[in-house]
Amino acid sequence: MSVSKCTRLSGALVKELLDSVDSVLFDCDGVIWRGDQAVPGAPQVINLLKEHGKKVFFVTNNSSKTRKMYADKMSKLGFNVNEEEVFGTAYCLAMYLRTVCKLQGKVYLIGGNAMRQELEAVGIQQTGVGPDHISGSQADWANVSLDPEVKAVVVGFDEHFSYMKLNRALQYLTQQGCLFVGTNRDTRLPLEGGKAVPGTGCLLQAVETAAQHQAQTVGKPNHFMYDCVASQYGVERDRCLMVGDRLDTDILLGSNCGLKTLLTLTGVSTVADAEAHQKSGCPERQGMVPDYYVESIADLLPALQG
């Protein structure tokens, strides 16, 4: 398929693209749903892709839900999905610690219950979930009690993030050999109406600044998320399509892994954003230029129904 980058996907090109892939990876928020509402036509697209024999997977940087929680939400919205097809950062981080790091010991977890559940599901115990209130003086903080079994500090989304959690993470990370892993670097979580709240990336940067040490991350655009899917399901790079709404995570993941990429305009990024990257002349920014774009993934419906 020899077309220029950032091409509008329409007409015969849709079928040509779908015929060239066996697997499709979808981001979730801004792609197949917005908030608690499915993007119109999205359930039909997912279900028809499966009927056409395509493998479909869901890759999300949101660490606040388990795979089962995502699958339950999708089922309620009309998607034909099972939890094994969902790859969130809570699950991928647990797999990273178990399979790549081969962690022996507990983790100090800056994160929520979903991360705790995914870690425990692979046999990793944690400490840290919930509020950690401050007390005492600075000397007390520097000598805060630590669990001797903790061998890694893990950072995901944590609504209870606090100075004491930041301090405790620093004290663990001053210990020799303590691993440091984050779910993702998204700094803002976009909401309806143009609003946004701070994302996990803000928390991770705070810990990195305190520790003077950079974390390894497992979420998009890091290739580990794709590796997780590919190793379990035999996905072939040159027969796989990544569909997302963010150039700096979804499309860059696809580029980093040698996948075909499709930007949908129902979420964060715009065609103007993509064209600015394309015209920049900067090699790093070229990875954020999608092969194709659509107004919505519902634009794939005619080719699937035909």
Q: Which residues are annotated as catalytic? A: 27, 29
Q: Residue 50: CB partners within 8 Å, gap ≥ 6?
A: 56, 80
DSSP output for 228-268:
HHHHHH---GGGEEEEES-IIIIIHHHHHHT-EEEEETTSS
72: left (phi over 0), alpha (psi -120 to 50) or beta: alpha
To the question of whether residue 220 is assigned a binding role by annotation, the answer is: yes
CA 20 to chain centre: 25
Q: What is the DSSP letter of 86?
A: E
> 165 labelled as ligand-binding?
no
Burial class (CB in 10 A: 0-12, 13-18, 19+), 80: middle
- The set of long-range contacts for 95-104, using a CB threshold of 8 Å and a minimum separation of 24, is 95/122, 95/228, 96/181, 96/216, 96/218, 96/224, 97/122, 97/124, 97/152, 97/154, 97/179, 97/181, 98/122, 98/123, 98/124, 100/224, 101/152, 101/179, 101/181, 103/151, 103/152, 103/179, 104/151
**Buried (b) or exposed (e) across 181-213, using 16+ Cβ within 10 A?**
bbbbbbeebbeeeeeeeebbbbbbbbbbeebee
Cα separation, 122 vs 95, whole angstroms: 7
Q: Would you say 238 is a known binding-site residue? A: no
- The residues pairing with 303 across neighbouring beta strands, listed in sequence order, are none
Report how far residue 213's alpha carbon sits from residue 210's, in angstroms, rounded to the nearest whole number.
8
- 29 known member of a binding site: yes
Whether the CB-CB separation of 225 and 219 falls below 8 Å is answered with yes
- Bind-site residues: 27, 29, 220, 245
- Bind-site residues for Mg(2+): 27, 29, 245
